[in-house]
């Protein structure tokens, strides 16, 4: 599979995947095509297991995660890698080690790929400068979450057959969202029309500079959308006075049938998870046929396999591969 991918004119020649900002259309197409094939082949397919055989894959998650970490672990294992999950809570990090020292220590163990999630924007890039292996950003603060945007793009492309020309409304806590930022990059690059919907208190400064349309009125923002992407609202936002209450937030910015009726009849409903039912999305909509939230999780593994495969092509050849 990896060999056939190399034959394509499209390619991916980066050592790391830190951001979606500079990804080009051929690069994204390449990753999505690869992921598409992964999604269609049975997970038990044995030949895939050669791609990362003998490679060491470290999941370094400074923030707790269920789906992203599990998804990367599964993807790496299906490609035959040796996977190590660093438990930050019980590691030297909790003893006060700096991020750079952690990077240097891990590098000494000569891993091939490190997947990092960190609560500070820019932390993953900092770490990538201190190691010799490939680094994948699995979320850094409110900055980037590239694999999420790619799996969202794949989900949309598989459901709609295209991304270009679609109107995608991203609604919720844009201010704190790395998912939104990565999605804006990928969707804009692929030619979608992106709208951001949020109360002004949950919008960053100058959002329109990202090349999007901005709405503070969800009824207007969702009008005619092909895709409605809901973001998680953390309950801490209530205490910090970004929004007054769950009740008010759901009333004005929660996805219910009344608001969804303004989107196109065949609009996709997406959510990166974990969902707060009754806060940003009505329970019945989460389970509606228009919802592709489960497909997103499924595409997560396929996309992460594709990213790992693409990066593996650029790794130095291992001297010996034990069979």
Partner 1 sequence: MSGATPMSPSSVTAPRKPSGPTAFINARLVDPETNRDEPGGLFVKDGVIADLGASLRRNAPEGATVVDCKGRMLCPGLVDAQVFTGEPGYEHRETLKTASHSAAAGGVTTMIVMPDTDPVIDQVSLVDFIQRRARDNAIVHIHTMAAVTKGLKGEEMTEIGLLKRAGAVAFSNGKTSVANTRVMKNALLYGRDFGALIVHHTEDPYLAGSGAMNSGEVATRLGLPGISKVAEIIMIERDVRLVEMTGGRYHAATISCPESLAIIRQAKARGLAVTCGVSINHLTLNENDIGSYRTFLKVRPPLRKEDDRAAMVNAVANGEIDTIVSSHDPQDADVKRRPFAEAADGAAGLETLLAAALRLYHSGDVALPTLLRPLTVNPAKLFGLPGGRLQKGAPADLILVDLDEPWVVNKDLLRSRSKNSPFDEAKMQGRVLRTLVDGETVFEYAPGR
Q: Which of 84, 121, 238, 315 binds partner 1 (CB under 8 A)?
A: 238
Does position 220 interact with partner 1 (CB under 8 A)? The reply is yes
Helix 67-78 / helix 146-160 crossing angle, nearest 10 deg: 80
**Secondary structure letter of residue 317 according to DSSP:** P
Tell me: cis bond preceding 274? Omega within 30 of 0 counts: yes
Closest approach, Cβ 178 to partner 1, in A, equals 22
Q: Site residues for partner 1, window 259-278 (CB under 8 A)?
A: 259
Among 44, 90, 241, 320, binds partner 1 (CB under 8 A): 241
Minimal distance in Å, beta carbon 281 to partner 1?
Answer: 16
Near partner 1 by CB under 8 A: residue from 22, 119, 247, 277: 247
Q: How far apart (Å, rounded) are the C-alpha atoms in residues 180 and 86?
A: 27
Contact criterion met (CB below 8 Å) for 176 and 243: no
Residue pair 106/61 in contact by the 8 Å Cβ criterion: no
Q: Which residues contact 314 (CB under 8 A, 6 or more apart)?
A: 12, 13, 14, 15, 134
Minimum CB–partner distance for residue 130 and partner 1 (Å): 35
Site string for partner 1, 184-203 (x = CB under 8 A): ---------------xxx--
Position among 258, 274, 316, 319 found at the interface with partner 1 (CB under 8 A): 258
Closer by beta carbon to partner 1, 256 or else 288: 256
Instruction: Point out which residues bind partner 1 (CB under 8 A).
Output: 199-201, 216-220, 238-239, 241-245, 247-248, 251-252, 258-259
């Amino acid at each position: 599979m990896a060999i056939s991918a190399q034959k394509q004119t499209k390619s991916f020649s980066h050592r790391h995947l830190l951001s979606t900002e500079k990804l080009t259309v051929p690069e994204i197409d390449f990753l999505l095509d690869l992921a598409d094939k992964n999604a269609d082949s049975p997970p038990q397919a044995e030949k895939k297991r050669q791609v990362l055989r003998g490679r060491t894959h470290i999941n370094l998650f400074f923030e707790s995660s269920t789906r992203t970490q599990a998804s990367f672990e599964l993807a790496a294992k299906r490609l035959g890698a040796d996977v190590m999950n660093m438990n930050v809570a019980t590691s030297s990090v909790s003893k006060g080690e700096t991020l750079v020292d952690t990077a240097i220590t891990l590098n000494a163990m000569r891993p091939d790929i490190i997947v990092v999630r960190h609560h500070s924007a820019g932390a993953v890039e900092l770490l990538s400068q201190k190691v010799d292996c490939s680094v994948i950003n699995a979320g850094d603060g409110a900055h980037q979450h590239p694999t999420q945007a790619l799996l969202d793009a794949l989900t949309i492309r598989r459901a709609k057959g295209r991304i270009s020309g679609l109107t995608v409304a991203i609604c919720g806590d844009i201010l704190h969202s790395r998912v939104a930022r990565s999605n804006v990059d990928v969707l804009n690059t692929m030619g979608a029309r992106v709208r951001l919907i949020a109360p002004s208190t949950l919008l960053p400064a100058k959002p329109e500079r990202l090349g999007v349309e901005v709405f503070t009125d969800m009824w207007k923002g969702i009008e005619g959308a092909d895709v409605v992407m809901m973001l998680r609202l953390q309950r801490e936002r209530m205490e910090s006075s970004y929004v007054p209450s769950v009740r008010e937030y759901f009333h004005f910015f929660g996805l219910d049938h009344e608001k969804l009726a303004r989107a196109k009849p065949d609009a996709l409903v997406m959510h990166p998870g974990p969902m707060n039912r009754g806060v940003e999305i009505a329970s019945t909509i989460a389970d509606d046929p228009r919802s592709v939230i489960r497909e997103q999780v499924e595409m997560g593994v396929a996309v992460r396999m594709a990213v790992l495969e693409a990066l593996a092509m650029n790794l130095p050849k291992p001297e010996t591969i034990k069979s």
